[in-house]
Amino acid sequence: MIREMKKPRILVVDDVPQNVRLLEVNLKAEGYSVIAAYNGQEALEKVRTEKPDLILLDIMMPGMDGYEVCRRLRADEQTRAIPIIMLTAYEKGLDKKIEALDIGADEFIEKPFKRHEVLARVRSLLRVKSLHDELMVAKNRLEDELMMAREVQMAFMPQKYPDIPGLEFSHKYIPTFAVGGDFFDIQEQGQGVVEIFISDVMGHGPQAAMITGVIKTLLTQLSSRLASPGYLLSQMNERFHDLMAAGGLPMFVTAFCMVIDTVERKYTYSSAGHPAPFLIKSKLSQIESLASNPGPALGMIPNTLYENQEHSMESNDMLFFFTDGLEELPDKKRVQFGAAELHRAISNNMNLPPHTFVEAIMYAADAYADGLSNPDDITLLAVRCNPSTSGE
């Protein structure tokens, strides 16, 4: 069975019934469905209820004229894409044409109009409207798929923090698009031991987001037999390099892995080209960048051995992990937030608990950007050793 094509719907607006009738006869002869309106207010009502594909709009009407109708349609997101052809018998046609185009009309025809000219303009604009509608369908489908991808990606992230006495967690994840290339994980590895992993895939958007799925898979496979952060990164580097080389994808990932041992009271960590986290000692008002002798980003150089570093844990320590999108956030002069502003924000908020601290750092960055959107994904993660449960 052949599906019948939907007839394009055209709204004809004119306060003179004879003009409406003339246009209606010509348009119906070409197979169009015609809706009539005889004043501006009626036209707006018909647009809402009938949803026409195109409007033929007379300019000179009593009450609300065609200009005002056009302005209101263009101001409404639901109707601004409907093509509008404006009609007038005013003798200063050029001036009226310029004004009509300035307020958003797509075409302008002077009365008395020629049948072939009207039909040609109608066909042309209906083709444009059809292409616009196809693009909107594709856009909506893409947005739906991206939101589904976002839900999948969010499922990769920790759904709850490990319940480890002495540790308190908070994070904030802000992708540039619906999905992003940042990833982090928090996994309990034994009694009083937790593994922190944070990474940043080159680029952002859907392609980078897909790579985070690879990172999550590799991390799941390898973390169960974790010997040390350096060993984990070395193994991930080999597998990631092989996968990307096999697929011909020149992708790399910065990563930082840390094991927090609340029993031995130490941090063991290793870096693959990732920004070093800060160790914040609020009691001493000290902020220390955890120097880590970073190796290359994952996937860049095969057979890389990543070094482990160790640092002793003290009560009320707070660790602050982040991705470089935070420091790279620009202001309106395109000057980045940078290390100095980040250090200042940490200093001003170092005594706050993790959740409030993360919010305060992001607030400081947003205030610096002054309304500009982040050009790269941003992830913040804070971990505090709580002195009330630290065993001291």
* Ranges in the chain annotated CATH 3.60.40.10: 157-389
pLDDT in tens, 16-29: 999 999 999 999 99
Per-residue burial over 273-303, b if 16 or more Cβ lie within 10 Å, else e, is bbbbbbbbebeeeebeebebebbebbbbeee
pLDDT given for residue 147 in this prediction:
78
**pTM check: above 0.85:** no
Single-letter code of the amino acid located at 106: D
DSSP characters over 272-295: EBPPPPEEEETTTTEEEE-----B
What mean pLDDT do residues 183-190 have? 91
pLDDT given for residue 90 in this prediction:
65
Decide if 272 contacts 298 (C-beta within 8 A). Answer: yes
What 3-state class would DSSP assign to 216? helix
9-145: CATH topology is Rossmann fold (3.40.50)
pLDDT given for residue 269 in this prediction:
96
- Residue 277, pLDDT above cutoff 50: yes
- Residue 6, pLDDT above cutoff 70: yes
What mean pLDDT do residues 149-158 have? 77
- Residue 213, pLDDT above cutoff 90: no
Q: Cα 56 from chain centroid? A: 38
* Ranges in the chain annotated CATH 3.40.50.2300: 9-145
pLDDT in tens, 40-77: 999 999 999 999 999 999 998 999 999 999 999 999 99
What mean pLDDT do residues 365-371 have? 91
* Residue that is written with structure tokens 């003798």 in the block: 91
Arithmetic mean of pLDDT over the chain: 88
Single-letter code of the amino acid located at 303: N
Percent of the chain with pLDDT over 90: 61
pLDDT given for residue 390 in this prediction:
40
What mean pLDDT do residues 294-304 have? 93
- Residue 129, pLDDT above cutoff 50: yes
pLDDT given for residue 224 in this prediction:
64
Q: pLDDT confidence of 276, banded at 50, 70, 90?
A: very high
Cα–Cα dist 313/319, whole Å = 10
Q: pLDDT confidence of 256, banded at 50, 70, 90?
A: very high
What mean pLDDT do residues 104-128 have? 90
Q: Residue 335: CB partners within 8 Å, gap ≥ 6?
A: none
Q: Residue 181: CB partners within 8 Å, gap ≥ 6?
A: 175, 200, 201, 202, 203, 204, 205, 208, 209, 211, 212, 377
Torsion of CA 154, 157, 159, 160, to 10 degrees: -150
pLDDT given for residue 225 in this prediction:
58
CATH of domain 157-389: 3.60.40.10
Decide if 265 contacts 193 (C-beta within 8 A). Answer: no
pLDDT given for residue 93 in this prediction:
57
- Residue 1, pLDDT above cutoff 50: no
